[in-house]
Structure formats: structure tokens, C-alpha cells
Amino acid sequence: MKSISERIIEGMAIRNMKQVDIIEATGINKGSLSSYISGKYEPKQTNIFKIAKALDVNEAWLMGHDVPMERKLKNTSYKKPSSIDFNRVLSQQEQTLLNKYRSIDNKGKHTVNTVLEMEYNRCKPIGESSDVKAKIINDKSYLEPVAAHERTDIEVTEEMRKHDDAFFDE
């Protein structure tokens, strides 16, 4: 996944634009734009929108996602709201998580994305069923101790193992 700074540079090259053109089109100050292009800082959502509009590119593409570069706002039946109240759209916890995510570096974002994808895939089968009651998960591998070892001071019999398994399954 490319960084926002790489995509801004690529978009400027494709559109044959210079930094001054972006500054004039967006109203973003020169220092901020230079910080975005150098990769020192990432723009907030409002500035991502302004830059994408100035470059006539898709915002998701500008953020580095693997989507077509072209903007798709040609649907005339959609009216863009003049402003979005994110307090209504996102919960306080979601806003906090989003702010934390935006403040970490690319390595941290990669780690968060990887863990999120793993957790999403782990939970996906539950959400795919319309009848959640039918999806009872009998996997109890999470109950198995990670660092426990079998006793070595006595000979453990099969009967003892069954007793222990039954005890821990309850």
C-alpha cells in the first residue's frame, strides 16, 4: 500500500501540477502541504478531501488504497452534505480509536491493520449466519494453557487425563 505522500506526488505528476497549484486550489498552507508531501505528517480528512478534489482523484486512492484513481461523484442523485457531524456518525470510542490510529506511524498502522484483519476473519463466520443460535462454537482451544506441562513426578494415566479434561471443560 502506498503512502499518502507518494500518492500526492503521483497525482501531481499525472495532473501536471505543482505544489503552488494545490495550495491555490485547496487553501492549505505551504508548510502543511510540504509536510504531507515529505511524509512527515498525514493530512486530516478535510485536507485529504481538498487535495483529492484538487487533483481530481479518488480519496481512497489518495490514502493509498488499491482502488481506481478516478473520482466517482458523477451520480447526480446524491447530494453531498455541507458538513458531517462525526459525533453522530461515530461513537466516542470509535473517535478515540480513529484519532489514535491517525497518530501512529506506518509500522504501527500495519500492525493494527494485521490484527484487525485477523480478528475480523476470526469473527466473520459468526456474522455470516442468519441464525446465530445455530452457530455454537465448540472450539475450546482457547482454554488450553499455553505454558503448562504434564507432570513428570508421577505417571499420568488416561483416566487422570479424562478427569482433568472433564474438569476444565466445565
Give me the tens of pLDDT residue by residue for the chain, a chain 170 residues long.
788 899 899 989 988 989 999 999 999 999 999 999 999 988 999 999 999 999 999 988 888 888 888 887 555 455 555 566 666 677 888 888 888 888 888 888 899 989 988 888 888 765 555 444 444 555 666 666 655 566 678 888 888 888 888 877 76
What's residue 135's pLDDT?
A: 47
Rounded to two decimals, the pTM is 0.44
The C-alpha cell of 67 is what? 482502488
On whether the CB atoms of residues 156 and 150 are closer than 8 A, the answer is yes
Return the closest-CA partner of residue 3 out of 50, 37, 51.
Answer: 37
The C-alpha cell of 2 is what? 502506498
What's residue 91's pLDDT?
A: 80
What's residue 161's pLDDT?
A: 82
